[in-house]
Structure 1
């Protein structure tokens, strides 16, 4: 499969690369997404944030590079950042590794449904975290908006909603 849309490559670098067959079912993620979200947890105050996600793919290997950053809506002050790799498997499973700016590392496994444009991830390992024990992430593309929910469990609470956002592709 090859995606070529001549005039829409204002921010792309060079020619549009072919999409690796393993990545093709998740190609709807590719690009930059921006929007706003809300966070909270039983042990912290609720908060709002702006966010940008970037999914990129070279076409040569069956992997999607991922980066994320958030900032305060009121001041633009940076809040959080993370980056990693998404490795889709032909059987509809997905392996994800993420390193957060806090030093926390996630190894997640899950599933994707290309037809429904839905992704569900569950942590296999949360490393370098004294309090966080489990993280789940779910993504859904509906009406051109990518929304997600992140749930988290700590050493004192079970899996509970932590973050949710809705983003539009730039």
Structure 2
């Protein structure tokens, strides 16, 4: 059979381990704001993609761009591994070379995920990162806090995204 004529297989069923977070699956797009004591505040456009392959893991990718020009800004990707006990493990590789290993919890009823860095690797200044994702009135909101060798944990990014 010619590869160009082959039908794409149907999407696999959602693995039971990721069912509690299946509301995240799909593409989310919106705008965010960022800042930190050592940088100027900024706004950005953003797209998040949560997908699955039928395995007990969610693939995650994110990209941002300047609202004025569409010029790419930041990108990252990784994997979310929810556990039946309500805990979750997340690994994220950023386009800057920074790598995060995060652990946290999820609440399927409240549609809330809280993550805290266990390890921030390949970072010259960043020492800690926390992320909170919450579904509010059908929109995905998140807040990222960051600590550096000069500043304690404080707000860095926040965004509100709609499923497209």
When the two structures are superposed, what TM-score results if normalisation uses the length of structure 1? 0.91
1:123 aligns with 2:114: no
Summarize deviations over 1:20-52 as a string: whole Å, max 9, x none: 010000000000000000000011000000000
1:17 shift after superposition: 1.9
Over 4 Å off, 4+ runs: none
Gaps of 5+ in 1: 1-12
Aligned residue runs from structure 1 range 10-159, under 5 A:
14-59=9-54, 61-159=55-153
Could you tell me which of 127, 148, 155 is aligned with 1:161? 155
Equivalent-residue separation in structure 1 for 2:154 and 2:9 (angstroms): 43
Give the superposed CA RMSD.
0.7
Cα deviation for residue 16 of structure 1 reads: 3.1
Residue 131 of structure 1 and its aligned partner are, at CA, apart by 0.1
Number of residue equivalences:
157
Instruction: Output the TM-score relative to the length of structure 2.
Output: 0.94
CA deviation vs aligned residue, 1:107-166 (integer Å, no higher than 9, x gap): 000000000000000000000001000000000001110000000000001000000000
How far has the Cα of 1:15 moved from its partner? Answer: 1.9
Mapped to 2, the partners of 1:27 and 1:15 lie a distance apart of 17
